[in-house]
Amino acid sequence: MMGKAKAAVAGANGYAGMTLVHLLARHPGVELVQLTSRSYAGKPYSEVFPLHDLEGSFLEEPDPAEVDVVFSCLPHNVGAGKAGGWLEAGARVIDLSADFRLREAAQYPRWYRQEHPLPELLSKAVLGLPELHKDELPGAELVAVPGCYSTASILGLAPAVAAGLVGSDIVVDAKSGVSGAGRSPGLGVHFSEVNESLGAYAIDGHRHLPELVQELAALAPGGPAPRVTFVPHLVPMTRGILATCYFDLKGSLADLEEAYQEFYAGEPFTRVLPMSPTTKLASHTNLCLVNVAAQGVKAIVTSALDNLVKGASGQGVESFNLAFGFERTTGLLEPIQWP
């Protein structure tokens, strides 16, 4: 793309939106022209972004006719009904909610408790996971950025599934920092509730599970994806995801290691490490760090990323770069400092 893309961020006062503004404000190919927030409408940007030299005030809604792209950080089931109008007005859409991640409209009532308002757009959406969909992203008009848990889990499992090295059901034990629950206050993320405590939740099925199954099924050679048991946990830290994936290994550990090295060769943001990664290694970056190991015949793959960057806004910018013809790493090589 020649020149700068004019961008709007809808829902710019949540954690994902704020992280996105930090990234786009320093992106050499982006002009931030609209930030929206219903709770901050009419207030100056400086009330939320005191460290950025951003002039202007928050709008209640974006004007898609005035921008090239709308980054939607609105809650699930909110942005879906607006996206059609944004697209019709000529703006492209990078959606960070779950509204366009699943290809089957019938999945939404089960996982998101309502019918999808624009099911005809689901087939047009490209999943914003560049390691799997970078060939589909250039020129994409609607990009659905996957969830933080699903990103960590898919990248932890994709090479093994694609190589046919998974010999059993898969178990994913995943842990997230509290910022993954969003910025809105609530009892479940109150300091007194989460400090010095660790617990599992959504044990009967987390809404990121169908994204994981959908992508693994597309990779599985000659058949459906293995069955997956996914259990998330809330950890008393601000940010980070660690997914530990277990499955019976077909072949040797050397075969598995080779599959991961080949699958991620040349990938700028997913790295295979010789030791199990910690969340702090990936914190404030767009990296996903993966390690491959085994106990006997049981493979153990660990995957770590920052839930607000590679698990959300950073991956949104990475997908934007591919969609608009920028270098994939543009604006993503320096760390994010807040929150």
124, 157, 184 — which closes off a domain? 124
State the total domains in the chain: 2
Please check whether residues 85 and 180 belong to one and the same domain.
no
How far, in Å, CA of 72 to CA of 106, rounded? 23
How far, in Å, CA of 278 to CA of 59, rounded? 39
Q: How far is the first Cα of the chain from the last one, in angstroms, to the nearest whole number?
A: 31
What is the domain range of residue 295?
Answer: 149-307
Domain CATH for 301: 3.30.360.10
Domain membership flag for residue 131: no
Please check whether residues 71 and 27 belong to one and the same domain.
yes
Domain CATH for 88: 3.40.50.720
Residue by residue, pLDDT tens for the chain (339 residues) are 568 999 999 999 999 999 999 999 999 999 999 999 988 999 999 988 888 888 899 999 999 999 999 999 998 888 888 999 999 999 999 999 999 999 999 999 999 988 999 999 999 999 999 999 999 999 999 999 999 999 999 999 999 999 999 999 999 999 999 987 776 777 777 788 888 899 999 999 999 999 999 999 999 988 777 899 999 999 999 999 999 999 999 999 999 999 999 999 999 999 999 999 999 999 999 999 999 999 999 999 999 999 999 999 999 999 999 999 999 999 999 988 766
pLDDT at res. 146: 97
Query: Is residue 151 a contact partner of residue 310, using CB atoms and an 8 Å limit?
Result: yes
Please check whether residues 88 and 12 belong to one and the same domain.
yes
Is residue 132 left, alpha or beta, with left meaning phi > 0 and alpha meaning psi from -120 to 50?
alpha
Please check whether residues 11 and 104 belong to one and the same domain.
yes
Please check whether residues 153 and 106 belong to one and the same domain.
no
Please check whether residues 93 and 191 belong to one and the same domain.
no
Please check whether residues 99 and 180 belong to one and the same domain.
no
Please check whether residues 17 and 85 belong to one and the same domain.
yes
Q: At what angle do helices 148-162 and 253-263 cross, to 10 degrees?
A: 120
**Catalytic, out of 73, 148, 245, 288:** 148
Query: Is residue 95 a contact partner of residue 144, using CB atoms and an 8 Å limit?
Result: yes
Domain membership flag for residue 16: yes
80, 107, 124 — which closes off a domain? 124
Tokens 């809604």, located at residue: 61
Domain membership flag for residue 138: no
**In the structure encoding, which two tokens stand for residue 235, read together?**
């950890």
Domain membership flag for residue 323: no
Please check whether residues 163 and 302 belong to one and the same domain.
yes
Q: Is 73 a catalytic residue?
A: no
Please check whether residues 166 and 98 belong to one and the same domain.
no
Please check whether residues 108 and 159 belong to one and the same domain.
no
How far, in Å, CA of 164 to CA of 251, rounded? 9
Name 234's bridge partners.
176, 199
Who's near 325: CB < 8 A, 6+ residues apart?
A: 1, 138
90, 124, 158 — which closes off a domain? 124
Domain membership flag for residue 228: yes
Please check whether residues 167 and 294 belong to one and the same domain.
yes
Domain membership flag for residue 271: yes
Domain membership flag for residue 319: no
Domain membership flag for residue 162: yes
